[in-house]
Amino acid sequence: MAHSEHETRVFTEQPIGRVGMWWFLASEVMVFGGLLGSYILSRIAAGGWAAETAHVNTRIAAINTLILVTSSLTIVQAHAAVEAEEHTRARKYLLITVLLGLGFLCIKGFEYSIELGHGFTPASGLFWSYYYTMTGLHGLHVFAGVVVNFVLFLLAGGRRWAAVKQRVEYAGLYWHFVDVVWIFLFPLLYLA
């Protein structure tokens, strides 16, 4: 018996968007995992970079950690509001998540300005190359999340609610990934 050309092959019961997001995040794990592994090996080989890490600002980074962890809570609240069909509450928490993401980026920019003002550039040594590469790449991911969450905030107020519902879950998965990456970067760059 011949199969129809239009036969649909189902390989998962999960929505295709969710599967796609998990695949994307798996590829991102490879990127950041490779960077973190390379950083750890280089740091061990260089004797620890104690002199270099003494110049990073742990207090500013701790504030940014608090902001990012709080934003994970607000994106969870946005998703819960979407599940409860509460448009206004979903928009409120999406906006708060956007503002917290922007706050993180502004503080990171301020921190960069201090470090650059003291002459610590990406060319100042291997530690600073890793520092700017990893925090810069993470910052780009935060910026992308801010843009996505802001677009969802705008759409949630209009007639596109049905399209927003599932995408808030995907945006939340991405936002938690960005948060988890920072949870690894913070101790490795600021505390170790």
56-106: pLDDT as tens digits:
999 999 999 999 999 999 999 999 999 999 999 999 999 999 999 999 999
Residue 149: pLDDT band (50, 70, 90) is very high
Q: What is the structure's pLDDT at 163? A: 79
Per the listing, tokens 């199969």 go with 3
What does the alpha-carbon distance between residue 177 and residue 184 come to, in Å, rounded to a whole number? 11
Q: What is residue 55's DSSP assignment?
A: T
Per the listing, tokens 């409860």 go with 84
Residue 138: pLDDT band (50, 70, 90) is very high
Question: ∠ at Cα 70 (65, 73), nearest 5°?
Answer: 135
Neighbours of 140 (CB within 10 A): 11
* Cβ 134 vs Cβ 38: under 8 Å: no
Least confident of 4-8, 47-51, 130-134, 147-151: 4-8
